[in-house]
Structure 1
Amino acid sequence: MGRREKPVDPSAGPVQRLAHDLRLLREKAGKPPYREMAERAGYSTTALSQAAAGDQLPTLAVVRAYADALDADPDEWEARWREADAESRAPTADERAPYRGLARFEPADSDLFFGREALVRELLDLAHTHRFAAVFGPSGSGKSSLLRAGLIPLLREDRGTSRPAVVRVLTPGERPAQTHGPALVPQNGELDTWVIVDQFEELFTLCHDREERDRFLDLLLSAREPESRLRVVVAVRGDFYGHCAVQRELAEAVSRANLLVGPMSGDELREVITGPATVAGLNVERVLTARIIEEVGDQPGALPMLSHALLETWRRRRGRTLTLTGYEETGGVRGAIAATAEEVYGGLSTQQARTARRILLRLIAPNGSADEQGRALPAGAPDTRRPASRAELAGPDAQDVVERLAAARLVTLDGGTVELAHEALITSWPRLAGWIEESRERLHVQWLLGEAARAWDGLDRDPGALYRGTRLARAEELFAGKGAGAVRKATEEDLAPLERAFLSASLDARRAERDAGARTVRRMRALTVGLSVLLVCALAAGLLAWQRDRASAQESAKAAARRLATISDSLRSSDPRTAALLGVAAWKLAPLTESRSALLAALAQPERDAFTDPQTGRDVRRYLTDHGRSLVSVVNSAVSVWSVADHRRTAAYHLPSGMEVTAAGADSRFLDLTGPDGDVLWDLPAGKPAAELGDATLMDTSDDGSTYVTGPAGEGGTVRVQRTDSSRPALSADV
């Protein structure tokens, strides 16, 4: 008969409760011997009996084998084991974990801060030498812990004249000058005020207002003034070193006083592993220390993963010893964060898992988020964390999920602010990295939406600051229902209340603008219809008036045509040419019977020409010569010769004064002039007398003007034929 088991108290703790439940399971199965159970389970009798002894938590494999040997459900007992394991690893209210996990070291944790003593002294000397100093290092190199748990405790321990009046710690955030302006004012007195600016890169990732950024930098850089009582130490992520050239004074200050945080040596890593355990009265297996140093190596950003792996190993410790087995159960340096995150995520319900995804993505600032304003992040810059208020994370189960994430140290809580414990969570948890990559564009749009919403709220919700155009269309596509102004229920929780209000206001404003535009279009259509009706009426009235005017014009034309026809008839015998022209004009004006008759009469009338001397007056003398083809018109001493057929003047002459024309030759060349000395035959082309006529009268001239005929002025006398070139008559006869 086997040795009797000692009693176990189930209320003593989770390990004892699990052992008590295993004993009850064995009793219900008939209490078979451990030797028989060992044959079925494949484990030794000692391992099975120790599982129910209650001295320490058995391994999961042993518990599953124990249940299987008793025909129980191994999965059910795995769940019980995990519950007991989680409860046993959770520190009690008065128990302090020696490792910080993903959380940074705070000044109160200085007794657990190991491995950076030399670097802390170097930083202290640098800060005493220069009033503005910068600490650079990759993410995860321990910059924040170096400042908070290394530098600040040394400053507070100083009792000399170099001791600080006060030490203030801040992170820039979105409005650094507005939020931290008072903290950058030195305290009264002779001692210096020290300002520690952690996560200085937030000045470029979260603050997008260039003026706000410049004001904050001016406040910080005022510490460099000789009379200043302010000292500033900033911690900057290494990949933001180039951003420090955004301002000349900042670049100069950083280049003169900076400290680079590199990877730890093997001895420093050994201190990080064993130092906190020694403070807590714990032991670390040497093989575990060697394994961790080997895995970490010279990786500069592995400290958060190391710290988290050590924290999880401490939770799986065996008694007072941190074992390699417990470390391997955590997944090691590279897998501990993911294992913890997956364990927490796997314990959430479906709704809580969706809430956790939304919360964690809300705490991410995706790379490229500073592209719209300010200096853009460098190409390929990693994603960063961002703090969020609890109000931004509101929703069903949100607070419960936040508390569970905080309990697992995946996020940190600071008053009303929630933040990722460390950026290592982004790169070390594949599920979160996948969420970020899957939702990168959505995160970027949401980031910009939040920035715009805060700017809108800061402007007293000015409608001019609302989204419009393509930005609103893209935000509506991602976060709002199609064709509706209300935010879609499925994505409503993705937005903070202020962002939802901003998007709803933007959609309402667009709807109002569209309604106003539609009303304007309707008014324009009504106005267009009215104007069209007025135009049609005006055109109709104009057409009617035009028709009336046309009828009146036609009647006037007919009356004028009749008058022209009447005049044409009256001139037909005296001036047939004019009569014919008037008949044509009458027909063109109006094709009436009267105008037609005048036109036909003009066609039947033989064409006759009439010439009227343009010279008018009573003193004009006219002589028709050249067989009626020429007209000689004399006015005073001016002589004009007109072509009767062509109705044009062919010649113009001037007579001597005191002479009077009494007759004209047949060829329009000679005139009979009477003067004081008697009659003279005047040669018009030559402009001189051709012969003296005496008392005779010019009767005719030859066609060529070489001969002329004179006769007596009264009854009876001599008729002579004379040549113009001889004074003797060629022929004479008495009549």
Structure 2
Amino acid sequence: MISEVKINTRTFNPFPGLRPFHMDESHLFFGREGQTDEVLMKLSDHRFVGVIGPSGSGKSSFVYCGVLPILYGGFMANAGPNWDVIIARPGHNPISNLAEAILERDAEYIAADNDDKRVKRTILTTLMKSSSLGLVEAIKQVKKSTGKNYLILIDQFEELFRFKDSQSDQNTLNETLNFINLLMEAINNKDTPIYITITMRSDFIGECAQFAELTKKINDSHYLIPQLTREQKRRAIEGPVAVGGGDITSTLVQQLLNDLGDNPDQLPILQHSLMRTWDYWKRNREGEELIDLKHYEAIGTMSEALSMHANEAYDELNDDQRDICAILFKTITEKRGENFGIRRPTLLGEIAAIADTSVEEVAAVIEKFRAPGRSLLMPPVGKELLAESMIDISHESLMRIWVRLKNWVDEEAESINMYLRLAEAAAMHQTGKGGLWRPPDLQLALNWQIKHKPTLVWGQRYDPAYERTLEFLEYSRKAFEEEQKIKELQAKKALQRARLFAMVMGGAAIIAIIVLLFAYAQKTEAVRQSGIAQVATLRAQENEQLANIQKDSARAAQK
């Protein structure tokens, strides 16, 4: 039960929404107290630990607000408090992203202009790619300090496997292998105290089996993040509320716990719903009213709050911006399997190229979704959006809850499937192993092209042979149209022949009818003449008989 105390008038919203907690928000992170000891023990013993759990289980928040503060406090055995933490995500360029993370807090790098920064990143990336000890050499070159321990945190490690599968070429596979080798060699190098921590979704654990050394490290030292108990979830609700200067009714806490259930994926949804409930309560509370069930229901509860929140941002866009919005979210998300979606962080400049618009136009749309109190897209509000900015959704749960985004993800998956089918058919045709497309496939592909308007940058994300693929489609269209023209011409000629034949046969029929009528007339005339002749014969016979009678009568009178 909550204590009946007056609400602090100087309140602040303590819930981050969908995004993970930041390290400076550790005072707001509740529910996993005491779980960091095992992680630090494994990290101390093996210089590596993999924090693994399902989507939405709070892996990143646990490391940022649970592990790192204690590490900085000097509580890891035989290491001390002198730590330099480097945080990176593999993204679409793992080694380059790691190089940038190493440089991020270097004073010379910070002071440099964009061109110099690009040069420094390229040099450090080249150094790291030059040997398996490249990561060790890069840290020695940039950090130039003694007595420090280095923790490299690779967050969202599963992005590495997405990068590997993004292009089925040897260069991509080689970079993936090089990235893993850099991490493994850094751990094994005894001269430099480098420690590695990764956070990874548990549904990607099977992907690690392709890399023997990584598999061994994970087997030796991993921490499967446990599901929160009901009491721990209660602390995760009530703790931040108290720190934020608010108070919450026991009725609402029970309702939240019941709605949360045992699904760990609901944790980010819980944080988002609490953030929205807090904002609504602060705007509409009456006097010293506590955060209660009516405030929670007003924002749509956990089942609808996120979708309603995202729709609010979408409704603020004009028609052109909504088109850009659809392309934006389709670009930074991806569907795998039937019900399996993943994030696909993408550079702002690349999104603009895919949408065939300017960086500024895309940035204007992003601002709607990362406005204060929303945090649906990253980077967070306040960080300048440049062409080099990496755009990402705050959490995968947005893909599962926001109905409009679910539809976009499904549409994009169908579009990608059509493009890949076309690309495969084009490759087969080029090698003489396949023919051009014909309806119904051709018509479906042409409809897809009109609806989705694929661009070069979009196509090359999935298959580099974009020009060949679209040329194949265009060639298939022209060949089919040419065939249709030939068929139409043949049909016209056949029709003309049929008409000529019909005319000839019609003429012959008319002549035959005329002949028939003439013959009939001749026959009729012959019959008539025959009748006349018969009548004349009969009359002649009658006249002859009459003459004979008269002759006989005359002879009789003479006697």
* CA–CA separation in structure 2 for the residues paired with 1:96 and 1:403: 22
Q: Does structure 1 residue 436 correspond to structure 2 residue 406?
A: no
RMSD: 4.0
**Deviations 1:79-119, CA, capped at 9 Å, x for gaps:** xxxxxxxxxxxxxxx98531011111111211211111222
Of 176, 183, 204, 2:94 maps to 176
Q: Give the match for residue 331 of structure 1.
A: 300
* CA–CA separation in structure 2 for the residues paired with 1:243 and 1:508: 33
Of 23, 28, 33, 1:112 maps to 28
Q: Give the match for residue 223 of structure 2.
A: 259
Q: Give the match for residue 664 of structure 1.
A: none
**Deviations 1:558-598, CA, capped at 9 Å, x for gaps:** xxxxxxxxxxxxxxxxxxxxxxxxxxxxxxxxxxxxxxxxx
Q: Give the match for residue 484 of structure 2.
A: none
Of 167, 179, 183, 1:220 maps to 183
Q: Give the match for residue 119 of structure 2.
A: none
**Deviations 1:36-92, CA, capped at 9 Å, x for gaps:** xxxxxxxxxxxxxxxxxxxxxxxxxxxxxxxxxxxxxxxxxxxxxxxxxxxxxxxxx
Q: Does structure 1 residue 418 correspond to structure 2 residue 336?
A: no
Q: Mark the CA change 1:275 to 1:478 in structure 2 (over 3 Å): closer, same or farther.
A: farther
Q: Mark the CA change 1:393 to 1:472 in structure 2 (over 3 Å): closer, same or farther.
A: farther
* CA–CA separation in structure 2 for the residues paired with 1:471 and 1:222: 49
Shift of 1:430: 2.2
**Deviations 1:387-436, CA, capped at 9 Å, x for gaps:** 11111232374322211111222211265121011000111122221222
Q: Does structure 1 residue 409 correspond to structure 2 residue 390?
A: no
Q: Does structure 1 residue 491 correspond to structure 2 residue 453?
A: yes
Q: Give the match for residue 236 of structure 2.
A: 272
Q: Give the match for residue 383 of structure 1.
A: 341
Paired residues of 1:164 and 1:192 also in contact (CA < 8 A)? yes
Going by fraction, where is strand more abundant, 1 or 2?
1
Paired residues of 2:13 and 2:275 also in contact (CA < 8 A)? yes
Paired residues of 1:244 and 1:251 also in contact (CA < 8 A)? yes
Q: Mark the CA change 1:196 to 1:290 in structure 2 (over 3 Å): closer, same or farther.
A: same
**Deviations 1:696-732, CA, capped at 9 Å, x for gaps:** xxxxxxxxxxxxxxxxxxxxxxxxxxxxxxxxxxxxx
**Deviations 1:645-689, CA, capped at 9 Å, x for gaps:** xxxxxxxxxxxxxxxxxxxxxxxxxxxxxxxxxxxxxxxxxxxxx
Q: Does structure 1 residue 233 correspond to structure 2 residue 197?
A: yes
Q: Does structure 1 residue 201 correspond to structure 2 residue 158?
A: yes
Going by fraction, where is helix more abundant, 1 or 2?
2
Q: Mark the CA change 1:444 to 1:96 in structure 2 (over 3 Å): closer, same or farther.
A: farther
* CA–CA separation in structure 1 for the residues paired with 2:40 and 2:409: 39
Q: Mark the CA change 1:217 to 1:502 in structure 2 (over 3 Å): closer, same or farther.
A: closer
Q: Mark the CA change 1:175 to 1:481 in structure 2 (over 3 Å): closer, same or farther.
A: same
What amino acid sits opposite 2:340 in the alignment? Answer: P
Q: Give the match for residue 212 of structure 2.
A: 248
Q: Does structure 1 residue 103 correspond to structure 2 residue 19?
A: yes
What amino acid sits opposite 2:208 in the alignment? Answer: C
Residue pairs, 1:577-588, within 5 angstroms: none
What amino acid sits opposite 2:453 in the alignment? Answer: T
What amino acid sits opposite 1:491 in the alignment? Answer: K
Of 356, 377, 392, 2:325 maps to 356
Shift of 1:246: 1.2
What amino acid sits opposite 2:182 in the alignment? Answer: L
Q: Give the match for residue 140 of structure 1.
A: 56
**Deviations 1:157-192, CA, capped at 9 Å, x for gaps:** 228843343101111122213432584434542432
Residue pairs, 1:284-683, within 5 angstroms: 284-317=248-281, 318=285, 321-367=290-336, 382-394=340-352, 395=357, 397-407=361-371, 408-413=374-379, 416-444=389-417, 491=453, 506=468
* CA–CA separation in structure 2 for the residues paired with 1:445 and 1:231: 44
- Identity over aligned pairs, percent: 28
**Deviations 1:454-484, CA, capped at 9 Å, x for gaps:** xxxxxxxxxxx9x96889989x9899979xx
**Deviations 1:538-562, CA, capped at 9 Å, x for gaps:** xxxxxxxxxxxxxxxxxxxxxxxxx
Q: Mark the CA change 1:489 to 1:366 in structure 2 (over 3 Å): closer, same or farther.
A: closer
* CA–CA separation in structure 2 for the residues paired with 1:447 and 1:107: 42
Paired residues of 2:82 and 2:147 also in contact (CA < 8 A)? no
* Secondary structure of the structure 2 residue equivalent to 1:139: coil
Paired residues of 2:460 and 2:466 also in contact (CA < 8 A)? no
Question: Structure 1: where are the runs of 5+ without partners?
Answer: 1-93, 368-378, 453-464, 515-735
**Deviations 1:265-324, CA, capped at 9 Å, x for gaps:** 122111111111111111111111111111112222211100000011011112663221
Q: Mark the CA change 1:504 to 1:264 in structure 2 (over 3 Å): closer, same or farther.
A: closer
Q: Give the match for residue 38 of structure 1.
A: none
Paired residues of 1:176 and 1:207 also in contact (CA < 8 A)? no
* CA–CA separation in structure 2 for the residues paired with 1:477 and 1:178: 41
Q: Give the match for residue 210 of structure 1.
A: 173
* Secondary structure of the structure 1 residue equivalent to 2:34: helix
Shift of 1:496: 5.2
Paired residues of 1:392 and 1:497 also in contact (CA < 8 A)? no
* CA–CA separation in structure 1 for the residues paired with 2:313 and 2:18: 15
Q: Mark the CA change 1:129 to 1:508 in structure 2 (over 3 Å): closer, same or farther.
A: closer
Q: Give the match for residue 168 of structure 2.
A: none
* CA–CA separation in structure 1 for the residues paired with 2:164 and 2:54: 21
Shift of 1:258: 0.9
* CA–CA separation in structure 2 for the residues paired with 1:477 and 1:166: 57
Paired residues of 1:190 and 1:229 also in contact (CA < 8 A)? no
Q: Mark the CA change 1:334 to 1:446 in structure 2 (over 3 Å): closer, same or farther.
A: farther
What amino acid sits opposite 1:222 in the alignment? Answer: E
Q: Give the match for residue 152 of structure 1.
A: 68
Paired residues of 2:42 and 2:48 also in contact (CA < 8 A)? no
Paired residues of 1:181 and 1:216 also in contact (CA < 8 A)? no
Of 115, 140, 146, 1:189 maps to 146
* CA–CA separation in structure 2 for the residues paired with 1:202 and 1:449: 27
Paired residues of 1:358 and 1:494 also in contact (CA < 8 A)? no
* CA–CA separation in structure 2 for the residues paired with 1:143 and 1:279: 22
